[in-house]
Chain A
């Protein structure tokens, strides 16, 4: 009789310990998954940031080069510099940074368009090289941005779905905003690639 109760208690204990263990394992793995996804989001942003900085550094060179050939375009040049300076405001949110970046991109396309009016500029080796560099950077920004958004999407989905939402709530994982892309932005990336040069 005594052994019967003993076995019952033992089974109960095993069930309880087993339950706690399963709960703990689920908790740990979900938490680790969330940390990984959050780090991925940060890493994806770092990718964008590197390219934004690269572009930030290239612009003064471009402006200098254009200046030598097109003095009458002072206004455009000033606007480009202004847009560039706006990019570097540390208080901006990610979406605000991207908005400044989009504006800058529009400005730069105007700058590149100047080459049609100034044949000497078009022939300038330095200008060509800068344009190539900036186009490549532009392309990288577009893809890093896509990576960022898909990573944020995965992260947010995880935070919202059961049972991870509980763990996310306890450990204060907050949702991240996706970067908004204006429609014409995608088109800009494609512009100028059909020249067929394979340098």
Chain B
């Protein structure tokens, strides 16, 4: 059951990312089609812009993310001994280098991981998490975060965020340019294709956001399943999830930009399923108990 879930999740992710890249290219194509009646310039533009932006985002360091969330680093096991041990144990079982450990002073229980490769991995937990959860549950949460690092989820979600931004930029650019290029020659454009391209450019940012959130939700299920592979203790993770989502107070230090990397939605938003960064907790808990 557990391994099957991991396999299925990995397959889904490949499809979604491939779809996302095709989508970005399609938006680029639609813009130049609207303006000049040809699609290749737009595709190349989207590819270059997307590649450059993604590379830039991937290079921004762990320290930036941690500073953004007001985290301070724990350098050795002398303080927070058990937490330190839990991180070491989980990294060992996952066969990745020990991630750096950060603490965020916030009474809302939550945690997140960052680092685009296991060598650059880092885990942050809030003091609220340490106060409210017992050791087993903390271990479950750490396992979930370590699983994110091992599964390269952070790299994936960074790519997704970058692609969303690129779609937003080029569709905005496209709409502006269309206003200026009015009255151009429309001879070589098919009217149905024209309408289709126009709709695509207008709804693109929304669709991109939805794809990004779908990826994020998908990886949460995968990280839950992998965490259980590490701890062999689905009950503890499920209880941790119950405790964390049971608290309605948001993480005040969390910035909106990094919300999707948290263990559970740190902003405690009430949004439609299609636009939420995390799957509904009840669903996650149910899956855990079924493992």
A residues lining the B interface (CB < 8 Å): 40, 47, 132, 136, 139-140, 143-144, 146-147, 150, 186, 190, 193-194, 196-199
Contacts and interface: CB of A to CB of B under 8 A. Distances in A.
Nearest to A190: B136
Interface in B88-139: 88-90, 92-93, 95, 130-131, 134-136
Given A136-B82, A140-B89, A143-B89, A198 B130 contact: yes
20 contacts: A132-B81, A136-B81, A136-B82, A136-B85, A139-B85, A140-B85, A144-B92, A147-B92, A150-B93, A186-B232, A190-B136, A193-B134, A194-B134, A196-B134, A197-B82, A198-B83, A198-B130, A199-B79, A199-B80, A199-B81
Contact of A198 (B80, B89, B95): B80
Contacts of B85: 136, 139-140
Interface residues of B, number: 18
A11 B81 CA distance: 67
Contact of A143 (B79, B81, B82, B92): B92
B136 A193 contact: yes
Contacts of B82: 136, 197-199
A132 to B, nearest CB: 7
Given A136-B85, A147-B92, A198 B131 contact: yes
A47 to B, nearest CB: 7
Nearest to B135: A193
A146 B143 CA distance: 14
A147 B93 contact: yes
Given A47-B92, A194-B135, A198-B130, A146 B232 contact: yes
A147 B79 CA distance: 26
Nearest to A196: B134
A76 to B, nearest CB: 27
Nearest to A132: B81
B80 to A, nearest CB: 7
A198 B139 CA distance: 13
Contacts of B89: 139-140, 143
Contacts of B93: 143, 146-147, 150
B240 to A, nearest CB: 13
A108 to B, nearest CB: 18
Contacts of A140: 85, 88-89
Interface string B156-182: 000000000000000000000000000
Nearest to A140: B89
A132 B78 CA distance: 12
Nearest to A193: B135
Nearest 10 CB-CB pairs, A to B?
A: A193-B135, A143-B89, A198-B130, A147-B93, A194-B134, A143-B93, A136-B85, A199-B81, A193-B136, A146-B93
Contacts of B79: 199
